[in-house]
Amino acid sequence: MQQHLDGAMRRNLFLLACCQAIGQSGNTMMFAATAISVVTFFPERDLATLPVTMQHLGVMLSVFPAGLLMQRMGRRFGFRLGSVFGMAGATTVGLGLYHASLVTMCLGGLLLGYAVASLQMYRFAAVELVPSDWRARAISWVTAGGVVSALLGPSLVSLTYDKLVPLYLGTYAAMVGIHLTVFIVMSFIRFPPMLAPSAAMPGAADPLPPRPLREIAAQPRFIVAVLSAMTAFGLMSFLMSASPIAIVACGLPQTEAHLVIMLHVLGMFVPAFFTGTLINRFGTMPVMATGIAILLLGIATGIGGMTEWHFRIALTLNGIGWNFLFVGATTMVTTCYRPSERGKTQALNDFLVFGTTASASFLAGFLHEHLGWAPLNWYSICLLMVAVCALAWLRLQQPVAAQRPA
């Protein structure tokens, strides 16, 4: 029988979703503003996405320290520290823009990486706030907080990009306020204590000893979940990072880039209101397969033309496909570890995911500048095939796995 959430659980989950909404707005602003702001002073357009790439690199480098720190000090301490890094990073990016220094902007992106690494762990923290049979819906509901970020982030960019000189300096000032708000709201969430990795006493919540990370990572479900998450985030970053440059290069106004990013982020997070329910009803793998199909449809739309509606539809479908594939992959990951293993397992997952994302965001600017928007979409199909092959492989593995003792 399914358990119900009490008032405290609902309150904590709601506040965590609020933090997701506000914090993700800052991340959306970074995507919408950075490449365009770099080209205002830096002549090499193929390096315009470099600060975003450095942010992804910062995520990759931060996930293990952030995860292990939370395992020791607790979720609230770790998340608030992430907000401090967010304020410092946004300030540094703004200073880089003011002084026309790409290196300084990249340093700011690197600092923001720690904030985003913490932000990405909200979905795992959501699982810890609810009973086990609410796992998929908790992940989905917290992810749905990004709906607000889809409206708030691009709207703040449109409101602030021309308020200070140089252009977009006001946007980075607003990002500081975003991370400060998250820091304050996080104070009101009550997280359960993190179980230390050494907790293996009889009668404890997790009586089995933690396994080596290589043993956890060797599980077929973990391999497929990580490969699928890498594909979802890598493909999303690949196309979203280059889209503002492609839109402006077509002669469309900068505000069109802001609108497209807003539609893309809405596509990423609106489905999260029901993705968890779909997973509970149809299963994780069918939902992930649906995400792959939607991503492919978005790529086909991007190849089909370069009008404003091609960009709007392609990036919206890209966001929807990301949601189905990524929420499904995250749900699958949470079935692969014990409570005492969650810190290192979640960190490994995000390390691999954001290593892919960092590479994709860098290649996006380079390939768009040298090849163009349509070839960028063709290359995306190759990345998508990784998830297709991974799901097919797991489907073949399941009959064999079912015969093994638990």
Q: Where are the chain's structural domains?
A: 7-191+212-400
Provide, rounded to the nearest whole percent, the portion of the chain with pLDDT above 70. 93
Q: Residue 322's pLDDT is what? A: 94
CATH topology of domain 7-191+212-400: Growth Hormone; Chain: A; (1.20.1250)
Tens of pLDDT, residue by residue over 174-209, are 999 999 999 999 999 998 876 555 444 334 445 677
Q: Residue 19's pLDDT is what? A: 93
Q: Residue 161's pLDDT is what? A: 87
Q: Residue 3's pLDDT is what? A: 59
Tens of pLDDT, residue by residue over 123-135, are 888 888 888 778 7
User: What values do phi and psi take at 229, rounded to 5?
Assistant: -65, -40
Tens of pLDDT, residue by residue over 272-330, are 778 888 988 899 999 999 999 999 999 999 999 989 999 999 999 999 999 999 989 98
Regions of the chain with pLDDT less than 70: 1-5, 194-207, 398-406
User: What values do phi and psi take at 251, rounded to 5?
Assistant: 90, 5
**CA–CA distance, 200 with 13 (Å, rounded to integer):** 28
What is the reported pTM?
0.73
Is residue 96 a contact partner of residue 103, using CB atoms and an 8 Å limit? Answer: yes
Is residue 38 a contact partner of residue 48, using CB atoms and an 8 Å limit? Answer: yes
DSSP letters, 107-162, are HHHHHHHHHHHHHHTHHHHHHHTS-GGGHHHHHHHHHHTHHHHHHHHHHHHHHHTT
From the list 176, 157, 152, the residue with the least C-alpha distance to 37 is 157
Token reading at 336: 């692969």
